[in-house]
Amino acid sequence: MKLNRIIIIGLMLLLTFSLMAEKKFTDFKLENEKGESFQLKDFTGKSLIVVDFWASYCDPCKKALPHMDELNLKNDSVEVIAINIDNPRLKRKAMAYIKSHKYTFTTLYDSDAKVADKMRVTEIPYTFLLDNEGNILFEFSSGKADSHEVLAAEIAKALKANPQEEVKE
């Protein structure tokens, strides 16, 4: 009886502590168009990471990509990763789309939607803002007209909250 109580209390404490912890983005392993594998820890060189989920059939997603590119080019503190969730048979179209637009951000392909499913991305475009340890600072459905401005404001807020944040080399 005592042991049961201890186990129950232990499990409840574990659950409480775990739920109180900051929410983390999953440590994925995905490939780019050249078959090179990337993990989340490969992108922790800047203060903030923006992860944007998109697909080639989604017009609102494609509309948001130039803003992502601008963010990647103009903000030294931000690394943008675009995760494409087109199914495997449409992956080649997505690759051509990115290459033809000469986007500078890193595009990774999650054709089996493993990362999208784990992060519960049920509609696209969907964007996460992470700190350089992978903690989720902000997430939102980013297909609205002012989405890039909402994201810019959250980035400014995050940078202001941690102005001295050391950038990892």
Partner 1 sequence: MIKKLTLLFFMIISIGIISADIYISGFNQADFIHRTAEDSLKNYFENELGVIVDYNNLSFGITFNAYLPKYEDDAPLAELRSRDLSYEWNERYLTYNGDNIGLKVGTLSESFGTGMTFRAYEDEDVDHDNRLEGAMTSFQYDRFKTKAIYGVTANKNNPDNNDSFAGAEFSMSHDYLTWGGSALQIREMVTATKYSDRQVFSSNLNLFFDFMDIYGEYAYSELETTEMTYGHGIYANSNIYLGDFTLSGFYKKFKNFNYDLNDLPTLNHADDVLDDYQEIGLDEEGAMGEITWDNSFAKLFTSYAEAWSSDYNYRLANGFIETSKQIGNNLLKVSYEHFEREDRDGGHWSKEVTPTASIDIPLDNSFSIYLKGDYTMIEEQHNFDSTREYIEPLLQTDFMYKNYAISFLTEAQAEDLSSLSDAEFWFGTTFKTEIMDNTSLNLFAGKQKGGKVCQNGTCKEVKPFEGIKVEITTKF
- Give residues in contact with partner 1 (CB under 8 A): 6, 9-10, 13-15, 17-19, 21, 23-24, 26-27, 29, 33-37, 39, 55, 57-61, 63, 87-89, 91-93, 95-96, 99-101, 111-114, 117-118, 120, 122-125, 141, 143-147, 149
For partner 1, the closer of residues 7 and 167 by Cβ is 7
Order of strands across the sheet with 29-31? Answer: 37-39, 29-31, 106-109, 78-84, 48-54, 126-131, 136-141
- CA angle 134/54/61 to nearest 5° reads 120
Residue 100 CB, shortest distance to partner 1, in Å, is 4
For partner 1, the closer of residues 34 and 163 by Cβ is 34
Residue 27 CB, shortest distance to partner 1, in Å, is 7
Residue 76 CB, shortest distance to partner 1, in Å, is 25
Residue 160 CB, shortest distance to partner 1, in Å, is 20
For partner 1, the closer of residues 1 and 21 by Cβ is 21
For partner 1, the closer of residues 6 and 73 by Cβ is 6
CB 135 within 8 A of CB 61: no
Residues 6+ apart with CB under 8 A from 141: 123, 125, 126
Q: How far apart are CA 37 and CA 146, in angstroms?
A: 33
6 residue type, one letter: I
